[in-house]
Copies of this chain bind each other. A is one copy, B any other.
Amino acid sequence: MAENGRRATLSRTRVIGAAVGLADTDGAEALTMRRLGRELGVEAMALYNHVGGKDDLLDAMVESAAEEIVTPEDGTPWRAYARGRALSAHAVMLRHPWLPALWTSRLAVGPARMRYMDGALRSLREAGFPPGLLDRTYHAVENHIIGHAMQAAGFPLDEAEMREAAEPLLRSPALEPYPDLIAHIRHHRDTPPGDDAFAFGLDLILDGVERLLAAS
């Protein structure tokens, strides 16, 4: 038997979990069938008994991450629902920097992701959104989540690294013609992420939508 078997050292769940962990700590480019096998004490080809191949593994990782997103309970007012689900999705994407790129590039969509999408759409519909506004609202929020996560994943520096990286950059003569860019880098050096930047953009969108909904 596959799924229990007392001493079944390998399983689909374990393979996917190890893949997620490996990509989390060492980056998506370190996720290699051979390397993943090594991590699990097994040869690469052994993994093929549990996943269909690397593509299947990547899809399963996305699905597994989608399951981590917590969705407000049914009946939550649309704005709180959208805000809660966006903040949770955002947190998941920060935990898994490899996620936004896979999220948008893989066309296979599993049940967790379908549930995630369906819940968001239902919440808006039940709030009385007309179809056009509903669709645009959904996508505006989704774009914000993905955009922020992509930018964050591409600049994976904590506060100390930020300070450290900023200094030599600021002295670079290549930057000299761009004073506002210099000021921007200084601003980021002095004010650590704090992450309210995500909520700021999100609320901008939700405020605007609220007004449009009221006007409709």
- Listed in ascending order, the chain A residues whose CB lies under 8 Å from chain B are 100-101, 104-107, 111, 114-115, 117-118, 121-122, 125, 131, 135-136, 138-140, 142-148, 150-151, 153-155, 174-175, 177-181, 183-184, 187-188, 191, 197, 200-201, 203-205, 207-209
Contacts and interface: CB of A to CB of B under 8 A. Distances in A.
B147 A178 contact: no
Contacts of A183: 121, 125, 131
Nearest to A209: B204
Interface of A is mostly: helix
Interface pairs A-B: 10 shortest CB-CB: A147-B147, A143-B147, A204-B208, A118-B178, A121-B180, A140-B201, A104-B154, A146-B147, A118-B181, A104-B150
A191 B204 CA distance: 26
Contact of A140 (B153, B178, B204): B204
